[in-house]
Amino acid sequence: MKKVRFLSRAVPKSVLFIGAVLAACTSFLIYVLRINAVFIDATVFNGFSAILFGGNILCAVLLFALFLLQAHHIEKGGAEVHTKKAFQLFAKIGLVFAGVFLLYTACTMIFSDFEMRARLRTSIGASILPFAATLSILLLVWGLPLIQKSACKRGIAIVLTCVLALSAVLTLFPCYTYKFLSDPMVIDNGESYSVVFATNDTGTGFAEYTYQGKAYKVYDEAAGRLKNSTIHTVKIPKAHLNGNSYRVGSTRVIEERSYGGRSGKSLLSKDYAFTVPSGEQQTYLTVSDWHMHTKEAYKAIANVGEYDGVILLGDAVPGLECEKDIADYIVTFGGEVSHGVMPILYVRGNHETRGPFAAALPEYLGMDSFFYTTDYDDYHFLLLDSGEDKQDSHPEYGGMVHYDAYRANMVEWLETQEKSDKKTITLVHDSDLCVEDDLRARAKVKLGILGATEIISGHYHVCKFEQENGFNIYTDGGFHKDEYIASKLTLTKDNYRLSAWNDKGEQVFGKEIAW
Ligand SMILES: [Fe+2]
């Protein structure tokens, strides 16, 4: 009965207007949810998400056009357009499709997992101001003149003008206090230390310290030009920082121009007393696969106790969509767990190889390579980069990766390495090393020759120890089913110990392995 009434009744002008605005908002949400597209397309068919987005835009345009036609009472053949059957048919088709798109989008959002919801918040935050401003202008120009009640008209005009003004002011004048997001992280990149820290807005950055009586102030710059970024990176020789103290600083850049510019508040951190693991007994925090679950990771890490160094084994986020992903989930996380006073050995996870900011990650972290070696007294660390865990042609990579050649280069580099007389530990995100069987076999042969068969890794989101063809492989935990597991590696002269705790305070693993 209701269905018949819906088909026979004329669609009011206000319903067309609300439908058009909701369809515009749905288009915005489909746009910010586009990271899901590859998974949905794989389930339905390739191009489904693009059709959905295009169809919804068409709905928004159709409903707004019909609203304008009806509001202007355009007549054709002596009759008002909105009384025509064709008009009503299009209006109802538009409304039904807009409703379906809205329902689909709402379900996609409601049933998104934690990572997708976090991504959604970031994407909305990054694009809400231009969207709100655009929508307000459209409504002021096209919608407002058609409203007849003057009180209603005045109220809507005030609201839309406020939205426009707020968007403009917030774009030109950031209204939040400039601050560091955390302590710095000091990455041991093999050759030197990269001191990396993040701020909540863009600015310049530097680190300063005194070495052998000489004061150093090292800026984050390129060929003399200071970099303007939320992530600040400077390289410092290892000898300058070992056993020394340093501090970092930043000046907010509100506007960077070819002529002139505008700066804001300057920040200077406390002094950080930096020490490196040394002696026969050394302890390291090892964490992997936090996948944005930093709260759970911090809780688990609080149970690990004290440590001398940090091993980050990758997979901080689903993919590097924006600079904020690196700032929040790698740099801030690294700073929080190392407190800026100990070195971090950073191993890239396969999820850090994805996204539009993945190619810039080496520069952000001040790393020339993700495969390298470093030593701390009696111990030699061999860091490898397994790249992605699927073939380059996989649709998730969108044709933007070339990791087959990258892994071949890494294995060639590995084959040039000479055996260290120190106890050697291999650090890699995926203990499978390479997707390619031949490269994996070559890498394993060489690791055997190098005595680098003790592997500490992540990727599988479990805590386990396996012995396989002469290799001892530890997978250090990560996030799985509402639980995060962090591990501790203790190196001693005769053996090494592996221990792990979850975020509930329970020790979930403990094992001692002789060298
Ligand atoms: Fe992974």
Residues 492 and 418 in one domain: yes
CA dihedral 455, 458, 459, 464 (to 10 degrees): 90
Q: Quote the pLDDT of residue 68.
A: 83
Among 242, 274, 306, the domain boundary falls at 274
Q: Is 181 helix (H, G, I), strand (E, B) or coil?
A: coil
The CATH code of the domain that includes 247 is 2.60.40
Q: Quote the pLDDT of residue 71.
A: 75
What's the whole-model pTM score? 0.86
The domain containing residue 100 runs over which residues? 2-172
Q: Quote the pLDDT of residue 338.
A: 98
> From the centroid of its chain, how far is CA 391?
22
Tokens encoding 146: 């058609």
Asked if residue 301 lies in contact with residue 284, where contact means CB atoms within 8 angstroms, the answer is no
What distance in angstroms lies between residue 349's CA and the mean position of ligand 1's atoms? 5
What distance in angstroms lies between residue 164's CA and the mean position of ligand 1's atoms? 43
What is the spatial order of strands in the sheet that 423-428 belongs to? 372-376, 379-383, 423-428, 454-457, 471-476, 463-468
Residues 242 and 300 in one domain: no
* Residue 507 β-bridge partners: 501
The CATH code of the domain that includes 426 is 3.60.21.10
Number of domains in the chain: 3
Residues 354 and 213 in one domain: no
What distance in angstroms lies between residue 458's CA and the mean position of ligand 1's atoms? 7
Q: Quote the pLDDT of residue 74.
A: 56
Q: Quote the pLDDT of residue 169.
A: 85
Over its length of 515 residues, how does the chain's per-residue pLDDT go in tens digits? 455 565 567 788 888 888 998 999 999 888 888 877 888 888 888 888 889 999 999 999 999 888 888 877 654 555 566 677 888 889 999 999 999 999 988 888 888 888 888 888 888 888 888 888 888 888 888 777 777 777 788 888 898 899 889 888 887 777 789 999 999 999 999 999 999 999 999 999 999 999 999 999 999 999 999 999 999 999 999 999 999 999 999 999 998 999 988 899 999 999 999 999 999 999 999 999 999 999 999 999 999 999 999 999 999 999 999 999 999 999 999 999 999 999 999 999 999 999 999 999 999 999 999 999 999 999 999 999 988 888 898 888 888 899 999 999 999 999 999 999 999 999 999 999 999 999 999 999 999 999 999 999 999 999 999 999 999 999 999 999 899 999 999 999 999 999 999 999 999 999 999 99
What distance in angstroms lies between residue 317's CA and the mean position of ligand 1's atoms? 10
Residues 247 and 313 in one domain: no
What distance in angstroms lies between residue 210's CA and the mean position of ligand 1's atoms? 40
Among 133, 154, 172, the domain boundary falls at 172
What distance in angstroms lies between residue 398's CA and the mean position of ligand 1's atoms? 18
Residues 457 and 483 in one domain: yes
Residues 270 and 281 in one domain: no
Among 172, 202, 219, the domain boundary falls at 172
Asked if residue 102 lies in contact with residue 30, where contact means CB atoms within 8 angstroms, the answer is no
Residues 32 and 74 in one domain: yes
Residues 161 and 216 in one domain: no
- Residue 25 phi, psi (nearest 5): -65, -40
What distance in angstroms lies between residue 428's CA and the mean position of ligand 1's atoms? 10
Residues 51 and 166 in one domain: yes
Q: Quote the pLDDT of residue 86.
A: 83
What distance in angstroms lies between residue 389's CA and the mean position of ligand 1's atoms? 8
Q: Is 113 exposed, middle or buried (0-12, 13-18, 19+ CB in 10 A)?
A: exposed
Residues 200 and 114 in one domain: no
> From the centroid of its chain, how far is CA 369?
20
Q: Given CA atoms 460, 463, 468, 472 in this order, what sign does their dihedral have?
A: positive
The whole-angstrom separation of Cα 160 and Cα 76 is 33
Residues 268 and 279 in one domain: no
What distance in angstroms lies between residue 290's CA and the mean position of ligand 1's atoms? 10
- Residue 223 phi, psi (nearest 5): 50, 45
What distance in angstroms lies between residue 132's CA and the mean position of ligand 1's atoms? 37
Residues 258 and 289 in one domain: no
- Residue 256 phi, psi (nearest 5): -110, 120
What distance in angstroms lies between residue 463's CA and the mean position of ligand 1's atoms? 14
What distance in angstroms lies between residue 387's CA and the mean position of ligand 1's atoms? 9
